[in-house]
Structures are given as C-alpha cells and as structure tokens.
A and B are shown apart, each in its own frame.
Chain A
C-alpha cells in the first residue's frame, strides 16, 4: 500500500475502524450517482472537526489530496478522487447539534441527511427548504458543496440562500468560523462564496442553516397537455402573468410513461407533457392563484387540470416527480442526464432544439425538468455497452449545453461542474473570468490538495490533452 505510513498515522488519530485501505473496500468509493470513476487510496471517516483538521494536516504534510464525500449522490463527480489520495466520508459525522426554534436556525454536522433534518424539525412547524431529488439520502454537507437546488428552488432559492454560517477547515488544517446565526455580518460574505465550491476552497465541518415555516396551504395541480410546446408556452405565460408558483415542473411523454410504471402516481401516459404546479402560502392567496393557473393552462389547450385532493395524492404526484430519473432507468440500459439552464422565455426553443438533436443522433431524449426556472434535465437514453452510442451521447450533450449558453443560459443549474463539465467552462467563461476564479482557488488551496481538478478547467496549455484523454475514457466506459 502506497500510503501505509499515512494510514498508520490516521489510525492512531481516528481509530482502527475509521480508516479503510483494502482494495475491496476502496472500490466502494470510486463512484457516485453519475458516471465518473476514480479510486481512492485511503478512505477515512472523521467524527469531529478536530479529526478533519488532523487529516488535512497529515495529508498536507505528505502532499496527499483529499476529496470530501457525503452520501455519494452527486451527478457531476464532485466526490470522486481524480488523483487517488484520500476520500473523506462524512457518514459518521451526522449529528444535529442545535435546533434554535425562535431564530429558525439549526446547526448541523455535514453528514446530516437533508430529509432527516426536515423530519427532525417538523414538530416545530419548520423544515429545511432546499429539496434536491436526492434529499432522502444526500447530506447537508454535500448540498453545501454542490449548492443543491430542487423543485422548490423556484420560490425559496438554492442551498446558499439557506445557509448563514459555516465552520470550515482550510488547507492548512485550521478550522475557521464564517458567519453565524444573524442575517448579516461585517466583512466579506465568505459563507455565501464557499457554498458551491465543491470542497475546492475548504472542507465544511459545521453548517448553520435557516429553517422555513411550513405554509398554511399547499395546492398541487397537474395540468395535462397534448404537446410539450403547449406546456412550455404555459410556463412563459404563468411567469408573465405574475403567478408565483413554489414549484413548476415539466415531464414529457416518455418520462410520464416510465414514472407511471414505477410509481402508479396517476400520471396520464397518453399525453405529450404534464406540468406539475405547486402553490403555497396563505389560503386565500393559494385559492386565487390556483384558479388563475387553471385558467392559463386551459388557455394553452390543456386537456385537463387536476388538483390533488389530499396530502396522500399530493405526495404521490411528488414521488412520481422525485423518482422520475431513476424511473427513466427502466426505459434503457443507461441514460445521461444534462443540467442546462435557459431563460424561461426560451423553453419552447430549447425543447425544439433538443428534439432536433435527438433526431439527428437517432436517440430518445426524455425531458423532465424544473420549468419554472428554466432548468432542463434532458436524459439521453443509450446503452453503455455500445461505444458508438457513448460517443454520440457525449456529442449530443455538448450540443445541448452549448445551445443553452447561446440562448443566454448556463451549463449547470444544480448538479455542479465537478469533473463532468470543468472542461466545458470555457464555453461560458473567458480566460480572464477563469483566471480570477483560479486565483481564488490557489489563494485558499495553494497546493491543490483539496479536491484537485474540479470546477475549473486544466490550465490552457494542458487542456487539449485532457479533453482527448477524457473522450478516450468515455469510450472505454
């Protein structure tokens, strides 16, 4: 074992059970929920901030890279080691340290599971608003690293809007506090900056989150359309007419059929698309808006607009949506999900474009996405065992993302850049933009031992080489 001496040191600090080094154990940390692969040389399980500091110091002294990992539900390879080294797993650092009901704050360790937190504070009428589809398993630390969103991002914002303070271990092993429970603090908003940096600036060891109040009334509507175009136009009209939905999701026909088979949520399988629309707030407000939504949907040739009768029906509709991607897994041996964003006035345009790409490459592309904020998730179906298809999938994905950027959008709305898209960053940012970001990284992470080769592209001189290596790897996979 290459890092035997380091492993021994780590064991003496963390205990025997907290360090894995056998190949049969390490292989379990070479994947996440995406396709990226990379095997660590050591896996460690800290339980305290002091453990994290010690690991960072010991690894730093030997120049060994560290990649933090929550539940491994990420989709862009944020928790995959690209250069071996250490994977630091937070599954045993998962205590809710404090629930401050009057201030609507909770202080949690990074390994706390998103949904567990909401369940733990439900008795106070509170919940943690960011709701990624992975919320059953994904950790708050992971949500912070990726700045996770979810269907309700539309009304409540992504993770960064719900974090007011952090404790972070920096590259030198020092644990520092950033922000706290108050809304504002003097000095730079390093808390806000750190969210979404995927462990490339520091390792989060404590999070102060905002808790939100469970609304008085929730209405969940399902609008059924003959075509995806009608559904897309409805989204634009809802936005234009000032309807503030808390969630506005679109599922196309392909997805509907897969989801219905998996969950029996009552989705119509013979339609072109549905919109799943949620309204929250004061009873009176919700009722008025629900009427307006139904009217606007019907004006765009909706076949029907159905409203969930009770909490059970509501949950069922959402289970269908939240499990949509995994349900797509039933349609083909493999699929590749993209995460582009376009302005909400361009949804119909991009759907047409995606349709064209599907035809051009002779592939099926399912669309299930956060229409309310223009965040697309086209899922390209293929068979991983067919090298030719794999190449086509990469090309189709790149075309779609490039088009998103051309339409005024971006490369990722919530999955993060990670190692999936760091080489695509130049599509969106020029050299100066990237240089400034790189300066921030090297200021905090001077030897690039914290999650190396993520977010930012390799320096320009080596970029060409990396791209060709990556596509070669893609063919292999």
Chain B
C-alpha cells in the first residue's frame, strides 16, 4: 500500500540526519505499522534543525509524515492511505531548563513522562500530567493526543499546564508560541491549538510546563456502591462539599475487576485521592463519613494509581476485538452516559467497562469476541445516546472496525473553522494525511 520513497530521497534523509538514523528495511518498520500500513522509512533526527530540514524535504516532495514519540497513541486516527516517513522525536529528550523556584521547566518533546516525573520528584515537585504508559509516552505525544489521567480532576488537562511550545511547521519553519513564565498573553496561544491536534499542525519539538509543589502525603479513599445512582449521589455530595481532592474517579463493576482495590464483585467504585496534613486528612474522613470502605496510603497507593492509569491497556490486552473510547460529557450527563452503556451493552451482548473522572471524562471499553458487527452497532448506538455536546473518540480498536466506523465521532466545533486552521499551517496536508477528523 505504501509507495517506497526513491533511493535519492533516503539518501537525502541520511544526509540530513545521519545514515544510522534512517531505517527503511521491512524488519525495522514492521513494529511501526499503523492500521496495516507500513511506513516507507523511519528517521530519528538528533536536532530540531534536522527536523526542520526533513520537513522542508517532505513538503517539497509531498511526502506524508507521521510525527511520533513513544508510539503509544498511534492507534488513534483513521486508516492512513500512505506513510512515507515516520519522524521520531525521542532523541529530543533533554531538560532544557528547570527553575524549581519558579515551578517551571522546558523539555524536549521526546522526553518520556516517567523520565520527567523523576526529574521533578527530585525537587519534591509534582508533574500534573499522568497519562497511561508513562514509561513510554513522550511529552510531545501526550500534548498531541491531549492525554490526561486522574490528576486532571484537580489540575485540569494538559492544556492548563502548557506554558509554551516550539514546533516545526509542515514547510519546515521552526516556530514558538507562549513562553516560560506562568502568565503570558503575548501573541496567539498556539499551545491550545497544538494540544489534541494529533500532529496535524506541526511537529512538536519542545514544551514549557508548569509544575506544582508535591504534597507531603497522600491518602486514597475507596467507596463502593451497589448502584450507579448511589455512586453519582456520593460524587455530588463530594462536589458540593468544601473538599478539593486531587483525583475523583468512578469505576464500573467490570472495570473494577482489574483494579486491586479489594472491592466486592458487582459494585461501582468511587476512588478519591487526597493530600495534605493529618488535620486535613482527618477532615476528609469526617466529610466522607461511613461510606468509605477502605483507605490506603504509601507505596501501595502509588501502585494503585498506576494501575488505574493503565487500566484500559490491561483491558485491551486481555480482550479480543475490543474498542476503547475516550468519552467526555458534562458532569450532569455522567450518570446517563454510564447507564446507557450498561443498557446498550446488555442489548447487544457486548462486554463493557468504564473508568475515569467522575465529573465527565472517562474511558469506556467495549469487547465482543470475534464480532465486529456487534461492536459497530454498540459504538454507533452509544454515540447516539450521548448527544452532540460530547466526545466519544475511539482510542483503540482493530483495523477491521475502523473500516466500518469513524474513530472521531461528532464534535460541536465547526469543521470548516478547523479546516481553516489546518490549511493555514499545513496546506498540503502532509502531516498525518487522512488520519484526522478533517
């Protein structure tokens, strides 16, 4: 399916990035296959300037480029018709600047979240970004996919911590926006535009981020309920209380089977993570009252939250023929969104589970052994049930399923306006051509 680039082109790439950093043999490319499409070559440049040169080359020859970090989010997107170059940013993994006193840092886009976390841990600071597979996912990848985790409840999604970006445009210009300081309204906020753009507007090369003082201790309060409605009532009670937890997750009974929370089978779980002094935690106990089934802290608690972050991956690995959806609905629609999932899954004979922010952004997994049709029916029916002011993007599924269903679903945002933005920064659509929703 893919048109191999000419030998001359590989030579040019090798000239730019060094021969050892360009691969075009089938065995080196197999693991980079996306929806059955094998890239013609992969290049791993060392510098931003090399990336710019590669993009100029690609732009001039109309080559389709897939920017990639840890290759953890590449399942997201429509089936590409052709991939000429996979452009890996993993070598841009330096901490370019870290001012702990200012709680800000600048890093290369290729650094992994886990590496970065270790850097800030050393200064007793907290990185408010906790996506799945943090050992592999890069900062650039997390931004491009707008990946977030449970800490989103307190700190917001990645867009709220991104102070500045540097990226290479489709035609090879190195541009930046924003800055290093926590408050800045100079120039257009291209950070917001880049976040969640899935590499269609430029190749991210560095990011400036905000970090926070790390709490001295954490506690997690696990609560379980026989009905979804009770779980939502408990959530509402917390939202109306003066408490401001770090994390507030809801887990469906099926999802809980994968979480080591010691819970009883068949019940809904609500996980609340709090931080603070003994007095503050005592107040949490007082407010949460007798609903709390278990409470934990220390290393086990750390592990517990890692498992929660990686939950959907575990599901996908353990189940054949499954679709993972990233859902976002307004807070008051969460109960309906979860109830319809249960009802529709029951009707279509689909196995399902959900876990995520109790306030509206969660992952939902559907699996139907061997039956693509049932999954298609399920996803379509589910999207209809959610309505238009919501998101239900497929983040993982088989290529076969993608042939029957659009991974992006609907959006309230005007598509023509999105096309204007795309055209402004990548008029030939060489970045991730055919994979995005416009």
Across the interface, do B104 and A416 meet the contact criterion of CB distance under 8 Å?
no
The yes or no answer to B425 lying at the interface (CB within 8 A) is yes
A312 to chain B, nearest CB (A): 22
Q: A182-B329, A282-B244 are in contact. Are A413 and B414 (CB under 8 A)?
A: no
B438 contacts which chain A residues (CB < 8 A)? 187
B192 A182 Cβ-Cβ under 8 A: no
Of all chain A residues, the one with the shortest Cβ separation from B420 is A443
A186-B437, A190-B421 known; A425-B183 Cβ under 8 A: no
Q: Is the CB of B360 within 8 A of A183?
A: yes
**Docked pose: A374 CA to B101 CA in angstroms:** 12
Complex contacts, A460 vs chain B, CB 8 Å: none
A391-415 interface mask toward B, CB cutoff 8 Å, 1 = contact, 0 = none? 0000000000000000011111111
B329 CB to nearest A CB, Å:
5
CB neighbors of B among A173-196 (8 A): 174, 176-193, 195-196
Whether B262 is near chain A, meaning CB under 8 Å from some CB there, is no
Neighbour of A432 across the interface among B173, B184, B193, B422, CB < 8 A: B173
| Any A CB within 8 A of the CB of B417 | yes
* Bound Cα distance A375, B212 (Å): 18
The one of B99, B277, B412 that contacts A165, using a Cβ cutoff of 8 Å: B412
Q: Is A236 an interface residue (CB 8 A)?
A: yes
Q: How many whole Å from B54's CB to the nearest CB in chain A?
A: 16
Rounded to whole Å, the gap between the CB of A151 and the closest CB of chain B is 11
Say yes or no: is B307 at the interface (Cβ < 8 Å to chain A). no
Cross-chain contact of B184 among A177, A190, A242, A410 (Cβ < 8 A): A410
Count contacts on B: residues with CB < 8 A to the other chain.
82
Complex CA distance for A282 and B277, rounded to whole angstroms: 12
B258 contacts the other chain (CB 8 A) = no
- Name the residue in A103, A193, A346, A429 with the highest tally of chain B Cβ atoms < 10 Å from its Cβ: A193
A103 CB contact (under 8 Å) in B184, B277, B332: B332
Contacts of B183 in A (CB 8 A): 149, 153, 158, 341, 370, 373-375, 413-414
- B10 touches A (CB below 8 Å): no
Are A178 and B417 in touch, CB under 8 angstroms?
A: yes
B185 — which chain A residues lie within 8 A by C-beta?
146-147, 149, 158, 196, 412-417
Interface assignment of B349: CB less than 8 Å from any CB of chain A: no
B187 at the A/B interface (Cβ < 8 Å)?
yes
Query: CA separation between A102 and B331, bound complex, in Å?
Result: 7
27 A-B pairs in the complex with CB atoms less than 8 angstroms apart = A178-B413, A178-B414, A179-B412, A180-B412, A181-B389, A183-B359, A184-B391, A187-B408, A187-B418, A189-B195, A192-B189, A195-B189, A217-B242, A239-B101, A240-B100, A243-B213, A283-B283, A343-B102, A346-B102, A373-B182, A374-B183, A411-B186, A428-B186, A433-B175, A435-B175, A444-B417, A444-B420
Q: Which B residues contact A (CB, under 8 angstroms)?
A: 99-104, 124, 146, 156-157, 159-160, 169, 173-177, 179-193, 195-197, 201, 212-214, 242-244, 276-277, 279-280, 282-283, 328-333, 359-361, 388-391, 393, 408-418, 420-425, 437-438
